[in-house]
Amino acid sequence: MIAAKKNRTTLLLITVTCLLVGYLLGIQYLSNQQESQKDNQDVTLLRQELQKKRENNMNLQADIEKSHGLLQQYRSSIKEADSFSVIQEEIERLQTLTGSAGVEGQGLIVRIEDIPYDDNDSYFENYFDEIVYDDDLRYLVNELFASGARHMALNGHRITPTTYIRTVGDNILIDTIPINTPYIIEAIGDPALLESSIKIKGFEEYFSIMNKQLVLERIDKMRISPFRGSPYIREMKPLEEKTSG
């Protein structure tokens, strides 16, 4: 009786143990299946994510190449614009140098006027009332240029590198245009420097000998018109050589 009871107990324990082992094996199998499915899902997601990254990289590379092309175009445009700007500046410089463009700036106006006569002056004291010649004007103009004047006009006529001032008969010509007193020189430059140069070089005393006075006026802003004439001498022709007969 006791042996039969022990056998049933042993059988029950074995049965319970088998059930537990089977249950645990089942749980482990399900867990492995889920992990396998999860791993497969993770791999798929990783592949999809990798594909997206590759597509994004390709798009970014395309954008970089496009931006690089635009940058090259901008650089070329900037170089062309710089070249155009340099050319434009050179044209303006040459126009200013040749007098074909008007200019503005501060400067000095020099008027050469007759000294007013005093009723008490005798004829002898005014005996040295002389005419201003072309040499006198050229002397003054050249000194103003040497003192820093950048642009100049004489009686409204622009002075250029080809301008000549000469006496013809009783008239002074600037190029081919006669000018009369009072002589007015407009010079663009540092007005203080130009004025001090005239005073230091003794131009006031020089012209006073001819009974002339220099009236100096500093101007904050003056305009000198462009040269209106032609820099070419059209009337001159080459001399034909005579053949001996």
CATH of 104-224, one of 3.30.110.40, 3.30.750.24, 1.10.579.10, 3.30.70.1880: 3.30.70.1880
Show the low-confidence residues of the chain (pLDDT under 70): 1-43, 46, 53, 56-57, 60, 63-64, 67-68, 71, 74-75, 77-88, 90-97, 118-129, 229-245
Bridge pairing between strands 171-174 and 165-168: antiparallel
Amino acid letter for position 121: D
Q: Residue 215, SS3?
A: strand
- Which pLDDT score is estimated for 164? 87
Amino acid letter for position 5: K
Tokens of 189: 């430059």
122, 222 contact by CB (below 8 A): no
185, 153 contact by CB (below 8 A): yes
Tokens 């003054």 correspond to: 140
- Which pLDDT score is estimated for 175? 86
Residue 136, Cβ density class (10 Å: 0-12 exposed, 13-18 middle, ≥19 buried): buried
- Which pLDDT score is estimated for 5? 52
- Which pLDDT score is estimated for 160? 86
- Residue 187's H or E segment, with its range, is strand 183-188
Q: What is the pTM of this model?
A: 0.58
Report the b/e string of 204-238 with b at 16+ CB within 10 A: eeebeebbbebeeeeeeebebeebeeeeeeeeeee
Q: Residue 120, SS3?
A: coil
Q: Give the residue ranges of DSSP H helices in 109-200.
A: 134-146, 191-200
Tokens of 92: 């303006």
Rounded Cα–Cα distance for residues 25 and 19 (Å): 10
Residues in the chain: 245
- Which pLDDT score is estimated for 157? 93
The C-alpha angle with vertex 239 and arms to 164 and 166, in degrees rounded to 5, equals: 15
Q: Starting at the earlier edge strand, list the strands of the sheet with 157-158.
A: 157-158, 151-154, 183-188, 103-114, 212-224
Residue 146, Cβ density class (10 Å: 0-12 exposed, 13-18 middle, ≥19 buried): exposed
Rounded Cα–Cα distance for residues 242 and 81 (Å): 57
Q: What is the pLDDT of residues 68-86, one digit of tens each?
A: 677 677 667 666 666 566 6
- Which pLDDT score is estimated for 116? 81
